[in-house]
Structure 1
Amino acid sequence: MPDKTSTGRQRGPIIISRHGRPALDRTAGPRLNWKQYRDWWERYEIGPLANDQSPPEGLVEAVADAEIVFASARLRAQQTAARAAPHMQALFDPVFNEAPLPPPLLPGVRYLPKTWNILARAAWLNGHALDGESVKQARQRAASAAAKLDAASTEGKVYLAAHGWFNRMLRPEMKKLGWKCSYDGGDAYWSYRIYEYR
């Protein structure tokens, strides 16, 4: 049975979505060296959503009665929350930011950003951080983020607009706190998962 608070109110559910399609296209050229990709990623991190899109109906319906809305500190997540849940002003928190993508230092090669994304994620998972947030630190942050969502759930339905990889990192942390994924919409732009307290 779903857990209830001391006032008899049911906890959650918690809906976590990935942001919509960004304006900066990771599949577009030109091909970049690792330094250029690092600059590209910095632009991506502060960039908005592409204008020619709307949130899917399923997501809009799922969060229509959300009582607390969160988004990361990144504009693309904030705009996602505003489009999917226009009835609420989202609370912005960097604890929900994407895990970093530090490129491996590969001289003499040029790739599209989408390829660098894969290489950077693999390198990061194997300890390459370029003086940024490490995997261990990101996991600790994910635990803090899950705890924040868990605490907010005592007030009702919660919606978070965040990021693809970080949302994956949230899954085991949510499970540790007693939340089960009852709907898994995958990892595409605008995709979402629903967590219920069991």
Structure 2
Amino acid sequence: MMTSTTQSPVSTQARDGGAKTGTITLARHGRPALSRKCWLTSDGYRDWWRRYDLGGLQAGQTAPQELVDTASKADVIFVSTLRRAQETAQAVTGGRDIITDAIFVEAPLPPPHTPSWFKMPPRLWGVTARIWWHLFNRRDGHENRSEAENRADRAAQMLIERAERGQDVLVLAHGYFNHMIGQKLKARGWRLTLDQGFKYWSQRRFEKG
């Protein structure tokens, strides 16, 4: 499941020489290029989501300096395999080594099957599909909620192991799956100490309670 580059040296001690537990920062990618200004059937939304996953970022964006600063201070940076996350990493890491891992890809959004005359914009389809997937544990050829929960649990444990070795960890990935990881971190006693929500380029930082 994992593909990785070489990684930054492990930081196992605080700058004052004492043992420390690092932080875990979950950041969302920048704004994607694919337009949401359209109306789609459920089948059309499936195709739209496929193209969304293949596509990159909208041109002309500048990464927030605060996120660039977080990346510069991180001991290790994990990035989803999807293009929009990879291009986000290019924008914020300054060419530093990263670890690319498919464990951080977004949870799927399979919409319910509806008549061909029924259309909605992608944003509403996203909400509908997430509720459908979450409440009814729908698969429809994709990872179901239970499987995604297990994946989020494994991802959270992987990040905790890094942080407990003294590393400050940054993840550049996706809105909803970052939320799922965050819930797993909270369940393990990690506190949310920086919360910028789930907008593009946003950060949510966790520290051991």
> TM-score if structure 2 supplies the norm length?
0.86
Deviations 1:91-113 (A, max 9, x none): 11111110100011011201111
1:176 equivalent in alignment to 2:184: no
| Equivalent residue, structure 2, for 1:132 | 142
Deviations 1:134-162 (A, max 9, x none): 11111110000101111222251111001
Task: Tell which deviates more after alignment, 107-116 or 182-191.
Answer: 107-116
1:69 equivalent in alignment to 2:106: no
Q: CA RMSD in A?
A: 1.6
CA separation in 2, counterparts of 1:74 and 1:171?
20
CA separation in 1, counterparts of 2:47 and 2:83?
17
Q: What is the count of residue pairs matched by the alignment?
A: 192
Q: Which amino acid aligns with 2:28?
A: R
CA separation in 2, counterparts of 1:81 and 1:8?
30
Give the C-alpha shift of residue 87 in structure 1.
4.5
| Equivalent residue, structure 2, for 1:34 | 42
Aligned ranges 1:39-54 → 2 under 5 Å: 39-54=47-62
Task: Tell which deviates more after alignment, 135-144 or 152-161.
Answer: 152-161
Aligned ranges 1:114-153 → 2 under 5 Å: 114-127=123-136, 128-153=138-163
Q: Which runs of 5+ in 2 are unaligned?
A: 1-11
Identity fraction in percent: 38
Contact 2:22 2:167 in 1 (8 A): yes
Aligned ranges 1:178-193 → 2 under 5 Å: 178-193=189-204
CA separation in 1, counterparts of 2:97 and 2:198?
24
Contact 2:70 2:170 in 1 (8 A): no
Q: Which runs of 5+ in 1 are unaligned?
A: none
Q: Which amino acid aligns with 2:200?
A: Y
CA separation in 1, counterparts of 2:106 and 2:97?
21
